[in-house]
């Protein structure tokens, strides 16, 4: 529904997102300090943080769409979040394998 309860659910998800991103930033900074701020370790940590924050943000967006939808979502329809996460994972894997083949040439 559209009502007050939907807005409260969305606000709770937004607060979780802010807490998640903040805690991920803190963990990344602590890990970088503990690992002597090695460039590769810091980059991969930042990439993982960005990827997880992006997927969590997409989750909030899809939840906002669901909560503001005038009709309930069809149960047999595939999850947009799962499709988005799988698409991102495939793109990262293909780019990583492309760079590995370039480095071996």
User: Are the CB atoms for 62 and 81 separated by under 8 Å?
Assistant: yes
- Residue 91 is predicted with a pLDDT of 81
pLDDT tens digits, residue range 82-105?
A: 787 778 778 877 877 776 676 666
Q: Which of 63, 58, 51, 61 is nearest to 93 (CA)?
A: 51
pLDDT tens digits, residue range 16-67?
A: 877 877 777 667 666 655 555 555 555 666 777 777 777 777 777 877 777 7
- Residue 74 is predicted with a pLDDT of 65
- Residue 78 is predicted with a pLDDT of 65
Its domain, for residue 14, covers: 4-104
Give how many domains the chain has, as a whole number: 1
User: Are the CB atoms for 81 and 59 separated by under 8 Å?
Assistant: yes
**At 72, is the pLDDT very low, low, confident or very high (cuts 50, 70, 90)?**
low
């Amino acid at each position: 529904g559209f009502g007050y309860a939907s807005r409260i659910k969305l606000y709770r998800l937004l607060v979780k997102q802010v807490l998640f991103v903040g805690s991920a930033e803190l963990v990344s900074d602590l890990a970088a300090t503990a690992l002597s701020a090695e460039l590769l370790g810091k980059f991969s940590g930042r990439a993982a943080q960005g990827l997880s924050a992006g997927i969590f943000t997409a989750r909030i967006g899809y939840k906002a769409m669901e909560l503001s939808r005038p009709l309930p979502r069809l149960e047999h329809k595939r999850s947009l979040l799962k499709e988005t996460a799988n698409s991102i994972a495939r793109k990262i894997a293909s780019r990583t394998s492309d760079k590995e083949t370039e480095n071996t040439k």
